[in-house]
Amino acid sequence: MSGKPQTLRHAADLARAGLVDVAQVPDLERVAARYAVAVPPALADLIDRSDPLDPIARQFIPQTEELDQRPEELLDPIGDGAHSPVEGIVHRYPDRVLLKAVHTCPVYCRFCFRREVVGPGGMGSLTANELESALAYIAAHPAIWEVILTGGDPLILSPRRLSEISKRLAAMDHVKVLRLHTRVPVAQPELIDEELLAALKESGKAVYIALHANHAREFSKSARLACARILESGIAMVSQTVLLRGVNDDPDTLATLMRTFVENQIKPYYLHHPDLAPGTSHFRLTIEEGLAIVGALRGRLSGLCQPTYVLDIPGGYGKVPIDSHYVVRRLDGSYKVTDPEGRDHRYPPRRPTR
Ligand SMILES: *Cc1c(COP(=O)(O)O)cnc(C)c1O
Ligand code: SF4
């Protein structure tokens, strides 16, 4: 065996690495048989083994709570299936599609909203024919302005395969933007190299990378360098975070995370309310709790650091912002506007009376 650290994929591997108790192995093997496990070296290194509440461990180390499935939970929590005209495409909004070329990830998040389809036991990657049909669908729909590569994690595709997709998109004039949702810059930063970035740029589109990170400690030195390489190549970055109990469900932790994004030139984009994915009730908060946490960021943090807190409506009805309570229409046609300190104001203001 070489000494090169490997991704941990079994409960026994996690025990050998000191990340779980040996006594837990049989139970955790049952979890791993249901939902894929992968903890790459870059993330295993970040876990504080002396802290039973470590927010990195909580995101990636399987827990027996995952076997507790609740009646309100859904196998397809955001309704991808309702909008999939061909394999690998989700077309819910007229101007953009998801292209899911691959269903594996460098790490498996325990709260994943696509946990039923990602992983080695999931749907697998698109075959060459399926990818062909998916690309033909995009080519045949001139209203598609943006292609969003997601999955799975598109940045684990080889530069050669990314370059093939890029070249095909380059020939579609109506597609102006290529966006990739990924965890690779924090989970496997060594994959972000010149060859991979060059492959994305072959698309000739405006390229955006949406980085999924949930805690500031995910920004190791190598993760920061990977982000810097992306930005230096001319690709813009935005963020994506899931609000999770025990990981980032307090204003200080979230504030530090949002500032860390901005310090790394990543514009905070979405903060997702956790989806009703199976076996994830231990991560879930109520919307009321979420609003209290997000409300505490308003007024306290730079506007650059403010994400939009969104709910993906179960059933495939799309994402909506959930902080709209700041502005409420009144019966007389005016609006009640709430400021960051919770004080209400009328808009438009009444004329000052003398
Ligand atoms: C989230 C999502 C998108 C992207 O939505 P944005 O608001 O543009 O980030 C597109 N299609 C589907 C099906 C989605 O779930
Ligand atoms: S990286 Fe994304 S798709 Fe993959 S397991 Fe995590 S949340 Fe799910």
pLDDT at 354 over 70: no
Residue 319 Cβ < 6 Å to ligand 1:
yes
Pocket test for ligand 2, best of 35, 113, 115, 118 (most atoms within 8 A of CB): 118
- 149 beta partners: 99, 180
Q: Which residues of 286-295 are buried (b: 16+ CB within 10 A; e: fewer)?
A: eeeebbebbb
pLDDT in tens, 196-236: 999 999 999 999 999 999 999 999 999 999 999 999 999 99
- According to the model, what pLDDT value does residue 221 have? 98
C-alpha 349/C-alpha 351 separation (Å) is 6
Say if residues 185 and 192 touch (Cβ distance below 8 Å): yes
C-alpha 261/C-alpha 194 separation (Å) is 22
**From atom 7 of ligand 2, which residue's Cα is the shortest distance away?**
112
Residue 93 Cβ < 6 Å to ligand 1:
yes
- According to the model, what pLDDT value does residue 324 have? 67
Say if residues 272 and 243 touch (Cβ distance below 8 Å): yes
Residue 90 Cβ < 6 Å to ligand 1:
yes
Residue 335 Cβ < 6 Å to ligand 1:
no
Residue 336 Cβ < 6 Å to ligand 1:
no
Residue 123 Cβ < 6 Å to ligand 2:
no
Q: Euclidean distance between the first and final Cα of the chain, in Å? A: 86
pLDDT in tens, 89-107: 999 999 999 999 999 999 9
Query: Three-state secondary structure along 171-196?
Result: CCCCCCEEEEEECHHHHCHHHCCHHH
Q: Which residues of 73-101 are buried (b: 16+ CB within 10 A; e: fewer)?
A: beebbbbbeebbeeebbbbbeeebbbbbb
- Locate the ligand 1 atom nearest the alpha carbon of residue 83 and give its number: 13
Residue 105 Cβ < 6 Å to ligand 2:
yes
Name the active-site residue from 13, 35, 109, 249: 109
Say if residues 182 and 226 touch (Cβ distance below 8 Å): no
- 151: confidence class by pLDDT, cuts 50, 70, 90: confident
Q: Is 96 a catalytic residue?
A: yes
Residue 78 Cβ < 6 Å to ligand 2:
no
Cα three-residue angle 3-4-9, rounded to 5 degrees: 110
Pocket test for ligand 2, best of 37, 105, 117 (most atoms within 8 A of CB): 105
C-alpha 127/C-alpha 20 separation (Å) is 37
pLDDT higher at 323 or 56 = 56
Name the active-site residue from 112, 115, 183, 205: 112
Cα 87 to middle of ligand 1, angstroms: 17
- 349: confidence class by pLDDT, cuts 50, 70, 90: confident
Pocket test for ligand 2, best of 35, 56, 90, 112 (most atoms within 8 A of CB): 112
- 125: confidence class by pLDDT, cuts 50, 70, 90: confident
Share of the chain above pLDDT 90, in %: 82
Name the active-site residue from 114, 115, 168, 284: 114
Residue 342 is given by DSSP the state S
pLDDT in tens, 161-205: 999 999 999 999 999 999 999 999 999 999 999 999 999 999 999
pLDDT in tens, 264-295: 999 999 999 999 999 999 999 999 999 999 99
**From atom 6 of ligand 1, which residue's Cα is the shortest distance away?**
319
Cα 123 to middle of ligand 2, angstroms: 14
